[in-house]
Amino acid sequence: MHTTIVNERSLRTCNFPITLQDIRTLKELYRLKAETRDLREPIVRNIMKQRVVGKGCLESLKNALYSLETIYIDDYTGQRLLRLDGMKQIEVDLTYEIRELQKDIYYLEYGEDRFIEYLAKFIPGFSDYVTEGVEMLRSKSFSAFITDRDGTTNNYCGRYRSSIQPIYNSVFLSRFAKNCCRYPLIITSAPLKDFGILNVSINPEHIFVYAGSKGREFIDIDGDFHSFPIDQGKQEMIRLLNERMQLLLLDPSFEKFNFIGSALQIKFGQTTIARQDITRSVNEAESAAFLEKIKGIVRDIDPEGKNFRIEDTGLDIEIILTIDVDPKTGLIRDFDKGDGLEFICHKMDIDHAGEPVLVCGDTSSDLPMLKKAMEMYDDVWAIFVTRDETLMRRVRDICPKSYMVPYPDILLTILGLLSL
């Protein structure tokens, strides 16, 4: 375990230092976040190779943090404000961005042991959860590690484009993937790239299989791209849908929905658009009206409702291409993470027997992934990040060898300690 990470003299990892910035627009915020990704990625590579990190990197992270902390706060609402363009403004909650930078700075300054003590001060029951989780999985070597990202191994962020993976997160996760399993798979609902999971991850190359769009598209450990086949007619329909969505968001009345939460995500076989964010920054009536507008566009393109299914999470509107008819119910079925896991395992020829498998998730959308793992593997363990009692019961019903934790940082610490 690293006791000293930052050193005055070390290999240079800060090739593009971050300066203090006066952030006034959303575009400037996203540019700064992209700079933090470029900075964090080589830092993780150094730490994984047991090298110390130069103090210039730490100063750059502190500059980024101060630039975020000094964004204008409205005296009346108490919210930070950024301009979209011209005089149009939007309220932004920067809790994730600020908190994760603070944690990274502490991790680099004081080392891993003190960092874990630092987390324990702020997370209720942290030490007990971690101890129990480590004891449950101690000495196990996993054939596959199958996990969701947002809300599971990464704390939630108000805007996906800002959810750059922290340094400590990447070190814990990558070390576990390298030392404790043969096939580490990250399966997310987000797109693979432009803008997707590859744009917000800083893990070293050739460690993880990254799967976007619930597993319809993935990049294997060697960097080769694979995608689930889609009927040509359905491809044309989703192309039309995406054109209509992009045109809609050019309308000044609706452009704000491209800057909150998940924003517009054009995935492989699915399109997601945010209608609200976790801080409820959009008026509820306006959010509901936007949902009806999207439903109208889908009806125009697919009047019989055979090719698209709409799922409204309250925050995101997910428009999903159907794939076939469920033989048990006779109902049209859409692609889920269970289908994605099966597709990935088939393409990569992942062995279905032998060593145990660990599955991690945080919502009901991860249950098909867990169910499929139970079908495919003999020895499945699960850790879910949730405080939802109903979801806990459903997880336990599917997988008896399961464990529940309330926060992603608890799961990350368990994985980090298991990999030492």
Note the pLDDT tens digit of each residue in 104-155.
999 999 999 999 999 999 999 999 999 999 999 998 999 999 999 999 999 9
Cα–Cα dist 146/375, whole Å: 14
| Residues 348-401 pLDDT 10s | 988 766 789 999 999 999 999 999 999 999 999 999 999 999 999 999 999 999
The distance from CA 116 to its chain's CA centroid, rounded to whole angstroms, is: 22
For residue 198, give both structure tokens.
């590859």
Query: Is pLDDT of 329 > 70?
Result: no
Cα–Cα dist 96/409, whole Å: 13
Residue 10: per-residue pLDDT? 47
Residue 399: per-residue pLDDT? 98
Residue 116: per-residue pLDDT? 97
Q: Is the CA virtual torsion 381, 215, 38, 51 positive or negative?
A: positive
Residue 92: per-residue pLDDT? 87
Residue 202: per-residue pLDDT? 97
Instruction: Decide which of 172 and 157 is more confident.
Output: 172
The residues facing 145 across adjacent strands are 184, 358
| Residues 279-302 pLDDT 10s | 777 889 999 999 999 999 999 999
Instruction: Decide which of 15 and 275 is more confident.
Output: 275
Instruction: Report DSSP letters for 274-312, one per residue.
Output: ES--TT--S-HHHHHHHHHHHHHHHHHH-TTSSSEEEEE
Cα–Cα dist 16/18, whole Å: 7
Instruction: Work out the pLDDT band at 19, boundaries 50, 70, 90.
Output: very high
Residue 365: per-residue pLDDT? 92
Q: Which of 148, 152, 136 is nearest to 189 (CA)?
A: 148
Query: Is pLDDT of 416 > 70?
Result: yes
**DSSP 8-state class, residue 192:** S
Mean per-residue pLDDT over the chain, rounded: 90
For the chain, what are the domain ranges?
1-122, 232-333
| Residues 199-223 pLDDT 10s | 999 999 999 999 999 999 999 999 9
Query: Is pLDDT of 29 > 80?
Result: yes
Instruction: Work out the pLDDT band at 234, boundaries 50, 70, 90.
Output: confident
Instruction: Work out the pLDDT band at 11, boundaries 50, 70, 90.
Output: very low
Residue 2: per-residue pLDDT? 52
Cα–Cα dist 81/157, whole Å: 17
For residue 414, give both structure tokens.
């368990």
Q: What percent of the chain has pLDDT over 90?
A: 67
Residue 122: Cβ within 10 Å count: 11
Residue 262: per-residue pLDDT? 82
Distances from the Cα of 159 to the Cα of 12, 28, 33, 91, 150, angstroms = 31, 14, 11, 12, 11
Pairing of strands 264-266, 270-274: antiparallel
Instruction: Work out the pLDDT band at 325, boundaries 50, 70, 90.
Output: low
Cα–Cα dist 174/125, whole Å: 25
For residue 10, give both structure tokens.
């070390």
Instruction: Work out the pLDDT band at 415, boundaries 50, 70, 90.
Output: very high
pTM for the predicted model, two decimal places: 0.87
Residue 401: per-residue pLDDT? 97
Q: What percent of the chain has pLDDT over 70?
A: 93
**Half-sphere exposure of residue 256, counting CA atoms within 13 Å on the CB side?**
18
State the average pLDDT over residues 332-343. 88
Residue 300: per-residue pLDDT? 94
Cα–Cα dist 403/56, whole Å: 40
Multiple choice CATH, 1-122, 3.40.800.10, 1.10.150.120, 1.20.58.1800, 3.30.390.10: 1.20.58.1800
Query: Is pLDDT of 345 > 80?
Result: yes
Asked if the peptide bond before residue 195 counts as cis, ω within 30 degrees of 0, the response is yes
Instruction: Decide which of 278 and 254 is more confident.
Output: 254
Asked if 37 contacts 200 with a C-beta cutoff of 8 angstroms, the reply is yes
Query: Is pLDDT of 224 > 50?
Result: yes
Instruction: Work out the pLDDT band at 327, boundaries 50, 70, 90.
Output: low
Cα–Cα dist 300/297, whole Å: 5
Instruction: Decide which of 88 and 377 is more confident.
Output: 377
Query: Is pLDDT of 271 > 60?
Result: yes
**DSSP 8-state class, residue 366:** G
Asked if 230 contacts 269 with a C-beta cutoff of 8 angstroms, the reply is yes
Residue 7: per-residue pLDDT? 60
Fold of 232-333: Alpha-Beta Plaits (3.30.70)
